[in-house]
Amino acid sequence: MAGLFVDDRPAAGYARVAVEQGVDVAGDGLTYAVPAGMAGVVVGARVAVPLGRGNKPASGYVVGLRSVEDGPGEGLEPARVKAVLSVDGDGLTLPAELIELAKWVAGYYACPLGMVFASVLPGGVKRGAGLAKKKVVRWKGGGEGGRGEGSEGRREEALREAGLRVTKQVRAVLAAMTGANEDGVELGALLTAAGVRSAGPVERLAEAGVVSIETRVDLRAGLDVAAERVAARLSDRPTPSADQAAAVARIGDALGAFGVHLLRGVTGSGKTEVYLRLIERLLAETEQGAIVLVPEIALTPQTVGRFVARLGQAGEGRASGGVAVLHSGLTPAQRHAQWQRVRRGDARVVVGARSAVFAPMRDVGLIVVDEEHESSYKQDQLPRYHARDVAIKRGQMAGAAVVLGSATPSLESWHHAKSGRYGLFELPRRVPGLNVPRVEVVDLVEERRAQRGIHLISQRLEHELRTTLDKGKQSLVLLNRRGFASWVACPDHRCGWQMACERCDAMMVFHLRGGDASNENGRDVPRGYVRCHHCEAQRMLEQHCPVCGKRTTLFGLGTQRVETELAQKLPGARVERMDRDTMTRPGDYERVLSRFEAGEIDVLLGTQMIAKGLDFPGVRLVGVISADTAIHLPDFRAAERTFQLVSQVAGRAGRGSEPGVVIVQSFDPTVDAIARAVAGDYAGFAEAELATRAEAGLPPWRRMARVVLRDRDQAACHRRAAATADAVQSAIDREAAQQRATMRGPMACAMARLADHHREQVVLLADDAGTLQRVLTSARNHDRLVSDAHTAIDVDPVALL
Ligand code: ADP
Ligand code: ZN
Ligand code: ZN
């Protein structure tokens, strides 16, 4: 294959290229020769290279360079090294700093480098979405060809001499071109102006060398950040409280250097105001930019609007401001346009979800991670990175300040703050004008005794819902479980049959058909179907127990059941349900929220979707149907999650001038996580939970990595798990890390069967990140432990099912 190898052309050096391909491609890149005369092969450049035996062209990023003298590297023969095929235009070049960050992510999270780049670069950018190619016609030869000089007669003469037949159409085209400047005229527009149907006459003029027809690439995709509506309400700059001012001053003074600052502020304490003032200071005092990460679900026009309203005029006063927005709700073309604005330096502030931590900003001075405790910052597929931790690494590499904000910080961050590794700033009070809501607990066990029949809504909550409705105010009702009933079973406990998923270790959940909640009455089983929430398998409801023939019964709770009950208890109230079943189309979420904000909904019922970052002054009441839904999950973070969810949703109440009310229902209100959340005692909860974790040797005291093996065949799954355990244990021994690292497993996962696959796991715990990395790297190098279709390596896992 001529041209693939460089032996016919001298190499100008060698490039290491991370190829975006499946997991089977080499870990940290492949070596290619740079043909002499090929310009632009720099670290961060996007190139095309031949891949595999078939030499199929593939895209990748240059991650390292070597000179000719250095040679291609160990074990490679210069003559056998394939050559780079081409360099992509400048448009996709990444800052060298991002290349370093990607390398760190690949190493730390045990993921092939090429796959990290697949995450770094949004799909729309890769495909060039929104790149409109247009044809432009220009005068050739310094814009002459007869323009401006002399008469039309002389020009036509010259054209005839050049062998061109000057038709009426050619004349019309020339006339239409008369006003054209250096930039030329778009072909379609030119033909319209000349009244000519086909491009033929223009092509003939081009052949005669009078004009040129060029293809130009144009990136257009406006982004309406829907800021105006919110801007009016938020563009004022409130006077900072003493706590806010102290945080702004002290973090502000630390801006020019790396440092992590944890901002713990109760909900409604004005954390966003602190971020805004820090960014304003950064923009005013430096040339640097800021990245603001928020959880995807909180990326509403409301959040974005606050940043655009305040910082829109920052930078160079462009129409849409100095703020770029990056999240999955944008069209690929919009994402591409936003990404390019950042890359070109047009936007000095980026607000985005998880992957915005890889925004192609060149000089980052500040990174904010809002709601840093959110588990959605962890990506659940390759690369399994945690955006908060990547943000900290990026801050360290860039010498930037990192601000982590939350009302309920992760125990990891709290632990670091308490041990002095992070700065700690607290906003213990709500901003002036916002009242602290009154929080009450309803013990559902007692409630069951007092009330006949099964009610998901207690009398106390029902009363407050009515009062709120009568006052013309709004309520939020949380139940973190979809569907109508969480399981279906035989009513005879001696029989014990339960309807389980055929493919998973999970119960089938009953859903009402088409949101029809009207026919749920008395003993009749309503119409609907059952679905597995893990593999989404769907089946008909078993009307009768297949073992003993008794009529099946629905147990447990779900948002649909609450919706039914709300309809019965609050006739006439405008109730809207928000969960993954009702929010199916893009824009659904925003549509419901803006209707809620406009006061068109009285009760907004939903899963954790409604707990995040919403700020609506009309909300008087927050009801938690069951604070217990997560507490018994087989995950060491179950208590932490429960505490966070209850605290976060409670914080949505009383954001207007009137004091709010929060009613928390629970079957076990004495559980520490629930009792402390109700009392608003974060510090107390954290202290107790940290002590429990210390005793059990769990994060944040130790670091964890988890390897999950899956296979349709149980024996094969177990063989792999055993081999993985061997690999990890030998790595611990090889690294002489027995004192600092321990392995658990192989053992069945909490969900031992998922979508027809058996699952086993091996868990590695180490005293520090360095040891964890040494052991993992050793296992990867020595025993080829890699993530593949059967193996998922998860470093610092947040989900343990
Ligand atoms: P958090 O993010 O801590 O929950 P927010 O930043 O959303 O709190 O602030 C809550 C509300 O208080 C916002 O509407 C904000 O504009 C307003 N606010 C912030 N700081 C002040 C202040 N110092 N004085 C008055 N209002 C403020
Ligand atoms: Zn299933
Ligand atoms: Zn039965």
Closest to 483 in 3D by CA, of 438, 547, 529: 529
- Kindly tell me the sign of the dihedral angle through the C-alpha atoms of 72, 75, 78, 80: negative
* Whether the CB of 269 sits within 6 Å of ligand 1: yes
Q: What is the pLDDT of residue 217?
A: 59
Tell me: the pLDDT tens digits for 416-443? 999 999 999 999 998 887 888 889 999 9
- pLDDT exceeds cutoff 70 at 56: yes
- pLDDT exceeds cutoff 70 at 760: yes
CA of 175 to the centre of ligand 2 (A): 70
Atom 19 of ligand 1, residue of closest alpha carbon: 270
Q: Which ligand is nearest to the CA of 498?
A: 3
Atom 16 of ligand 1, residue of closest alpha carbon: 234
C-alpha atoms less than 13 angstroms from C-alpha of 601 in its C-beta half-sphere: 20
3-class state of residue 553 by DSSP: strand
CA of 490 to the centre of ligand 3 (A): 4
Mean of pLDDT values over 463-483: 94
CB environment 688-713: b (16+ within 10 A), e (fewer): ebbeebeeeebbbebbbbbbbbbbee
Q: What is the pLDDT of residue 67?
A: 87
* Whether the CB of 406 sits within 6 Å of ligand 1: no
Residue 32 in contact with residue 15, Cβ under 8 Å?
yes
Q: How far apart are CA 398 and CA 98, in angstroms?
A: 10
* Whether the CB of 10 sits within 6 Å of ligand 1: no
* Whether the CB of 270 sits within 6 Å of ligand 1: yes
Atom of ligand 1 nearest to the CA of 234: 16
- Kindly tell me the sign of the dihedral angle through the C-alpha atoms of 225, 231, 237, 242: negative
Question: Between these two residues, 213 and 134, which has the higher pLDDT value?
Answer: 213
Closest to 487 in 3D by CA, of 563, 561, 598: 561
CA of 545 to the centre of ligand 3 (A): 5
The environment of the single-atom ion ligand 2, i.e. residues with CB closer than 5 A, is 501, 503-504, 532, 534-535, 537
| Tokens encoding 314 | 């920052």
Q: Which ligand is nearest to the CA of 552?
A: 3
Mean of pLDDT values over 284-291: 93
Confidence of residue 600 (pLDDT cuts 50, 70, 90): very high
Atom 2 of ligand 1, residue of closest alpha carbon: 271
| Cα angle value 35/121/413 (rounded, 5°) | 125
Q: What is the pLDDT of residue 250?
A: 95
Which has the minimum average pLDDT: 81-85, 161-165, 408-412, 573-577? Answer: 161-165
Identify any residues that bridge with 741 across adjacent strands, giving them in sequence order: 766
Atom 5 of ligand 1, residue of closest alpha carbon: 270
DSSP string, 14-78: EEEEEE---TTS-TT-EEEEEETT-----TT-EEEEEETTTTEEEEEEEEEEE-TTT-S-TT--G
* Whether the CB of 268 sits within 6 Å of ligand 1: yes
Q: Which ligand is nearest to the CA of 309?
A: 1
Q: How far apart are CA 454 and CA 608, in angstroms?
A: 24
Q: Which ligand is nearest to the CA of 613?
A: 1
Q: What is the pLDDT of residue 565?
A: 92
DSSP string, 413-437: HHHHHHTTSSEEEEE-SPPTTPPPP
Confidence of residue 564 (pLDDT cuts 50, 70, 90): very high
Q: Which ligand is nearest to the CA of 495?
A: 3
* Whether the CB of 281 sits within 6 Å of ligand 1: no
Q: What is the pLDDT of residue 233?
A: 54
Residue 438 in contact with residue 620, Cβ under 8 Å?
no
Q: What is the pLDDT of residue 728?
A: 96
| Tokens encoding 454 | 């099964």
Which has the minimum average pLDDT: 83-87, 224-228, 757-761? Answer: 224-228
**What backbone phi and psi angles, to 5 degrees, belong to 745?**
115, -175
* Whether the CB of 273 sits within 6 Å of ligand 1: yes
Which has the minimum average pLDDT: 167-171, 476-480, 701-705? Answer: 167-171
Tell me: the pLDDT tens digits for 184-236? 788 888 888 888 888 888 888 888 888 888 766 555 555 554 444 455 455 57
